[in-house]
Chains A and B, each alone.
Chain A
Amino acid sequence: MKKNNKIIGLGLLLLMVVVGYLFFEVFNESGIDIRKAETDVTISAQNLVSSFLDNESLANSTYVEKTLEVSGIVKEVNYLNDRYTIFLDGGETFACLMCDMNTDQIEKIEQIVPGQTIRIKGICKGFLLDAILLNCVVLQ
């Protein structure tokens, strides 16, 4: 009898762990693992910024919420509000591609200098004065 109770207990515990894990996966998913996400568009930072400057609504429907791989020249790297942002040259005097970097990218970011050409993967959110990419990682 005691043995049976133990087995039932263990079974229930296992079930709780599995349900808990599934619940966590479905409801507590904090963003996307950008490394695993399939790239929708590969483009240069200058072409991306030009697309938004030429026709914002068309660019919105083409790029927004898409996973992009973007290459470009680093204009500025800054640390503000506890986060790193890399600005890639957009070809225009003021408009850039603003890349909000993932927190696990610090080691890579510290080695990046303005003028360097890099590739960044992230999710496009739209355009204000700059095109905006979130969840960004530096590609080797």
Chain B
Amino acid sequence: MSKITTVIFVLCSWMASYGQKTDQYITRQGQTSFFSYTSVENIKASNNQALSILDIAKKEIAIVILMRAFVFEKALMEEHFNESYIESDIYPKATFEGSIPDFDGSLNDVQTKMIKGVLTVHGVDKNIEIKTKIEKTKEAYAFSGDFEVDIADFDINVPPIVEKNIAKTISITFRFEYMPYEE
């Protein structure tokens, strides 16, 4: 075996073992959308820049989202959302920190797990549980699911004049495709 072949072989096996040691996964382009359905109007907004880190050894997950990066169908809705309801200048980010106690990173099958954690929106913390579908992908894992939150839980002030336009319960969907985290 030539020297170069030996070096390549050693490097490949080192890379393979390095890959196995990677416990952290990241996405900078997580997709999160929310929906408000009322008889007056339907409001939808999407954000494609959620940042999330998943640690499969600790079975922990952290997500941070810029509120101003939610894109609405109508510019006026976006303005109201940022200026009046979420107050994005004061509370620019929403965060979620949670754990997946029974997560098994070695499974190749689709698994459905409950993620328990704290969602912080508009400066208010709320304990929630999110049912999440976890798929193994070519690179790592994809997390997806949907859940609901009550706007009353987050101290969001909706003026009586638009009360009928905004649902009391907001539906949220998400899809995060993780990649190995390499510093």
Contacts and interface: CB of A to CB of B under 8 A. Distances in A.
A29 B71 CA distance: 12
Contacts of B177: 80
Contacts of B175: 81
A73 to B, nearest CB: 18
A139 B51 CA distance: 27
Contacts of A134: 69, 71
B146 to A, nearest CB: 16
Contact of B183 (A80, A94, A100, A130): A94
Chain B, interface residues (CB within 8 Å), range: 20 to 34
B66 interface: yes
A28 B75 CA distance: 7
Contacts of A28: 74
A98 interface: yes
Given A81-B31, A125-B68, A30 B48 contact: no
B48 A100 contact: yes
B116 interface: no
Interface of A: 26-32, 60, 64-65, 78, 80-81, 83, 85, 93-94, 98, 100, 125-130, 132, 134
Given A27-B76, A65-B68, A80-B48, 19 more contacts: A26-B76, A27-B74, A29-B74, A32-B75, A60-B92, A64-B68, A85-B48, A93-B183, A94-B183, A98-B29, A98-B49, A100-B48, A125-B66, A126-B66, A128-B64, A128-B66, A128-B93, A129-B28, A129-B51
